[in-house]
Structure 1
Amino acid sequence: MVLMKYGMGHKKKGVVDIDSENKVGWGRTLNMGSPLRRYMLAAVLALQIIILVIVRGLPVPFPWLPPCPVPVADVSATVGAAALNVTASWDDDSETSNDSKDDVAVSGDFVTESVASDVSNAENASCELGLVYVYNLPPVFNTDLLKNCSTLSPWNSFCPAIVNFGYGDVIRRPKLQAEERGTWYKTDQFTGEIIFHKKLMEHPCVTDKPHLARAFYVPFYAGLAVGRYLWREYPAEVRDRDGKMVLEWLQEQEYWKRNSGWDHFMVVGRITWDFRRSKDEDWGSSFMYMPGIKNVTRLLIERNPWDDKEMGVPYPTAFHPRSAQDVLRWQDHLRNVERTKLFSFAGASRKYIPNDFRGILLDQCMRSMNCRSLDCSGTRCVNDTMAAVHLFLDSTFCLQPRGDSFTRKSIFDCLIAGSIPVFFWHRSAYWQYEWHLPSNYSSYSVFISKHDIRNGTQIEEVLKRIPAAEVQRLRETVISSIPRYVYSAPGHRLKGMKDAVDTAIDGFLNTVKSSSLAHI
């Protein structure tokens, strides 16, 4: 095809090539010597280019990309008037409670049914802060996304990531001890929305009676929804459509109207900057700037520190204990493991960035006999979720610069390995995870200013000056805090401990309780 030969950006070059190839090859075959034939060919080529430009400008997705959500009017028609009084719960029929069968992959299908509101007999349940009501959203906002998992990423199918309710497939490795089987999963960093939804539906403090609830959870998978449209030339209205639709639906609900959404919260599985588009041509959605969202508390893997309605929650890691005993066993292992390196770094340099900070860290690590690095260029660390954990298990400290944004999943890989994080930006953790990490930053981490590193400070020298007793104290704080930044396995709770979901629910309920909006 002529257009394939010359492309949109090479029209001028194409004309020159026609003249030069007139004497040989396909030019001779088409008898391009005639001026009339050349003019006709140029006209056809111009017409093809015009048609292509017009089609690309239409506000519809390309056929190989996921379809736009249905209009909100169609969604409303599918929701019964009694939807507010029914909550969605996970279909656990295919999940076994037998620990020896925890390897079985479970699909993420939902069924519509009431959740138990009687929490008085729940094991180890303490609902003094109040109860949580879970909205039954139209499926276009959550479960339909899972059914179309192959369209959630432009690069490859997202379906492997959503099995086992967003935990991913169980890791089966000879290196794992027998008692560790069923506690490690191939969990994707962007499935927190699904995991939270699953854990909320299992929570003893969830009620199906909204008039008894102090807090209201909105299970909108905002991250999965917008992720379909981030890397293609979709118009702004397509990237914003899901957010507008869910807010329009919420604003019609009785218990939303009562407090204008102040007692509502949702979990967003991507960083806040994917939802803060200020101009149509910029990256992402404008969801966080929509009027209806301003009163809702958003729990994200990276928050905007200057938005008091956002709070950071841990990135999902590979470790998902089934019981408190799993946690205690892992903590004992971390206290006794032999660490052969002083510090380590998992990441890839950004050679296209002048004076790249990661490159500086990698250079210092490579020059030291006491450091080990893991090259995470490409998809190596994404495909092997345990690679970083094994690296950090062997080191006393782990370097945690900013990632593509200020936070990175590696922070929590480091923490679950019992390694002490070294931060260079306050926004990487200290201003992010106030509910989940110790409030005293110096009790579990080391901070070295990025400016000092750029001015020649050697990380190894700083770390070597820390007394052994202080290192032991830092490590113990990291290890003892592990329950708060892990998500327990699907279908299981940590008796006597609070995991990341429990901690987040308590944090939000405390916020509501301390406000004048507490209504029961």
Structure 2
Amino acid sequence: MITNFITLFFICVFFLFTLSVICQDSDIETDCTNRWIHIRRLPPQFNLDLLSNCSEYPLFDNFCPYLANHGFGKKTHNKSHSWYRTDPFMLELIFHRRMLEYPCLTSDPSHANAIYVPYYGGLDSLKFLYGPEVNSSYQHGLDLYEYLVHGDLPDVWSRHYGHDHFMVMARPAWDFNQPFDSDPMYFGTSFLELPELFNVTALTLESRAFPWQEQAIPYPTSFHPPNLAFFESWVNRVRRSRRKTLMLFAGGGGSSSKPNIRRSIRLECENVTSTSANGTGYEKLCELVDCSSGICQHDPIKFMKPMLQASFCLQPPGDTPARRSTFDGIIAGCIPVFFEDLSAKKQYGWHLPEEKYEEFSVSIRKEDVVSKGLNIIDVLKSIPRGQVRRMREKVIEMMPRVMYRKHGSSLGLRTKKDAFDISIEGTLERIRSRLLEVAAQ
């Protein structure tokens, strides 16, 4: 069955790609000035073939169910139009499908301002992270580099030696930065450490603070509206929702005796008495949604309703600084509370402008909570209700910027730039600036 699915998917992708290029090359060029993108054709071993192995990594997950709807996964229920059981690691498929609709595609790479490489790097990494090649993770990316340099169109690479190339890698960048001389059992691959690929822009779910070639783009949520009416209907529901809870934490961890921010949050919530909310305008001061062992990841119903009823959503770091829950919360109109800058402020500058953070979020230093006993509830209660309403409006204003709308969406919804649109704009500007720097050297 999976073989038939892959064959059908390949036919659809090829057809849509061909149709898009034919149509876009006939557009008026001035509409696409400095925006032309060429999709580099890769052998299926670098993308479509990887989908056929969707059940072969039991230590990771069987991701076959999440391939449906071009990476959105299955609908949450049959009558749903906008909600899917989306796995964030399927971003490579989601992005690839949206690229086929990009209005400024060109079949001529010499005419392009940027080259998109439809490589499913996150999926390809599974064989190194969880599969038989775990001791060869330093080789991740070398076969791709060989093809880009010596494949059917070597001039595409040699024109700028990769400076105009970009790709999406649907994992945190931390998973691709294993030093070459590290213990082979160190988790991760060395893809982003390969000098051969230093010039390529990598769009990752999370980025590190220093390498120039990485840029974090939002984790996919489960919300993918197909038209403006469904989007506006959801926005109206978010605005009307009664916020009965002061703060919410949806996540796992924090159960060990070792001091950390998640443990502090759990202890503070568990110690709230039933009468603590009296006189605050809230029915509850804190709610915990247990998402341990990934039980919430593909079921937005578990956390979305509580988020709709909370004023603030706590976003503490876990294994990595950022988390998908940040974007789930924004979709629910829940004001994010961050405990370190790397959780969002130093990551998602294209989508959540750094200068606006005070308008839509709250920052509390995790050290003040864990080591100095600062009470999070006291901080949030001290924020005037009028300011809370204004912050929520800003969160709602940011909503389109962090969602990935459904492919084939209506013209009305396409007037609102979503996470994909902003990622492409940022990538084109980064490549343009980089090429100018290289030319000046």
TM-score interval for Structure 1 and Structure 2 normalised by the shorter chain = 0.7 to 0.9
Letter in 1 for 2:403: V
Q: TM-score, normalised by structure 2?
A: 0.87
8 Å Cα contact 1:197/1:219 also seen in 2: yes
Amino acid of the structure 2 residue aligned with 1:297: T
- CA separation of 1:259 and 1:164: change in aligned 2, threshold 3 A: same
1:381 aligns with 2:279: no
Distance 1:317 1:489, change over 3 A: same
CA distance in 2, matches of 1:320, 1:510: 26
* Distance change in 2, residues 1:225/1:120 (3 Å): closer
Q: Is the 8 A contact 1:166 1:192 kept in 2?
A: yes
2:348 to 420, 429, 433: 433
Q: Matches of 1:501 and 1:481 in 2, distance apart?
A: 14
Equivalent of 1:513, from 429, 432, 436? 432
**Contact kept in structure 1, 2:176 and 2:190, CA below 8 Å:** yes
Residue 93 (structure 1) shift: 12
Aligned position for 1:316: 220
Query: Which residue of the partner structure matches residue 337 of structure 1?
Result: 241
SS of the residue corresponding to residue 49 of structure 2 reads helix
The 2-side partners of 1:402 and 1:370 are apart by 21
Give ranges in structure 1 of 5+ residues lacking alignment. Answer: 1-90, 95-105
Instruction: State the alpha-carbon separation in 1 of the partners of residues 11 and 221 from structure 2.
Output: 19
- Separation (CA, whole Å) in 2 of partners of 1:513 and 1:304: 22
Question: Does 2:159 align with 1:246?
Answer: no
How far did residue 371 of structure 1 move? 1.0
Distance 2:175 2:432 in 1: 30
Q: Give the Å deviation of 1:389.
A: 1.6
1:406 aligns with 2:326: no
Residue 210 (str. 1) matches residue 109 (str. 2): yes
- Are positions 1:476 and 2:374 aligned together? no
CA distance in 2, matches of 1:277, 1:93: 34
1:229-308 correspondence runs (5 A): 229-231=128-130, 234-237=133-136, 239-252=137-150, 253-278=154-179, 279-281=182-184, 282-308=186-212
* Paired residues of 1:108 and 1:165 also in contact (CA < 8 A): no
1:450 to 361, 366, 369: 366
- Matched residue pairs, number? 410
Please name the residue that 2:42 is paired with. Answer: 137
Farther off after superposition, 358-367 or 447-456: 358-367
The one-letter amino acid of 2:74's match is D
- Give the counterpart of 2:307 among 392, 412, 432: 392
Kindly state the Cα deviation for residue 386 of structure 1 after the two structures are TM-superposed.
2.7
Structure 2 counterpart of 1:20:
none
Q: 1:371 aligns to what SS in structure 2?
A: strand
Change in CA separation of 1:117 and 1:306 when aligned onto 2, cut-off 3 Å: farther
Q: Cα offset for 1:270?
A: 0.3
Which of the numbers 374, 378, 384 marks the counterpart of 1:461? 378
Q: What corresponds to 1:489 in structure 2?
A: 406
CA 438–235 in structure 1, closer or farther in 2 if over 3 Å, else same: closer
| Shift of residue 129, structure 1, vs aligned partner | 3.6
Partner of 1:8: none
The Cα shift of 1:407 comes to 0.9
SS in 2 for 1:370: strand
Does the aligned pair in 1 maintain the 2:57–2:131 contact within 8 Å?
A: no
The aligned amino acid for 1:495 is R
CA shift digits 1:207-263 (9 cap, x unpaired): 2221221011111111111123323574432x3444110011112321211111111
- Bigger Rg over Cα: 1
Does residue 184 in structure 1 map to residue 83 in structure 2? yes
Report what 1:500 is aligned to.
419
The Cα shift of 1:338 comes to 0.8
Distance of 2:27 and 2:57 partners within structure 1:
37
Unaligned 5+ segments in structure 2 are 273-283
Q: Structure 1 counterpart of 2:291, which letter?
A: C
Letter in 1 for 2:299: D
CA, structure 1 residues 155+277, in 2 after alignment: closer, same or farther (shift >3 Å)?
Answer: closer
State the distance in 1 between where 2:143 and 2:201 align.
Answer: 18
Instruction: Give the secondary structure class of the aligned counterpart of 1:481.
Output: helix
Mark the CA change 1:122 to 1:334 in structure 2 (over 3 Å): closer, same or farther.
farther
The structure 1 residue matched to 2:333, chosen from 418, 427, 443, is 418
Say which SS state the counterpart of residue 296 (structure 2) adopts: helix
Please say if residues 46 and 119 of structure 2, whose CA atoms lie closer than 8 Å, have aligned partners that are also in contact.
yes
Cα shift at 1:448: 0.3
Deviation, 1:349, is 2.2
Q: Is 1:193 aligned to 2:92, yes or no?
A: yes
The C-alpha deviation readout for 1:266-310, integer Å capped at 9, x for no partner, is: 101001111111114221110111011111111111001111211
Shift of 1:197: 0.5
Alpha-carbon distance in 1 for matches of 2:245, 2:397: 22
User: Partners of 2:157 and 2:260 in 1: how far apart?
Assistant: 46
SS at match of 1:202: coil
Counterpart code for 1:419: C
* Contact 2:6/2:51 (8 A) holds in 1: no
Aligned residue for 1:116? 21
Aligned-residue offset at 1:332? 1.8
| 1:216 counterpart SS class | strand
3-state SS of 2:110 partner: helix
Pair 1:224 & 2:129 matched: no
Task: State the 1:202 CA deviation.
Answer: 1.5
TM norm structure 1: 0.74
Could you tell me which residue of structure 1 aligns to residue 281 of structure 2? Answer: none
Distance 1:186 1:228 in 2: 24
Asked if structure 2 preserves the Cα contact closer than 8 Å seen for 1:117 and 1:209, the reply is: no
**Cα deviation, residue 382, structure 1:** 2.3
Change (3 A) 1:236 1:441: same
Distance 2:11 2:61 in 1: 19
Could you list the per-position Cα deviations for residues 341-378 of structure 1 after superposition, in whole angstroms to 9, with x for gaps in the alignment? Answer: 01100112243461132111011122234111101112
* Counterpart in the other structure of 2:232: 328
Change (3 A) 1:267 1:152: farther
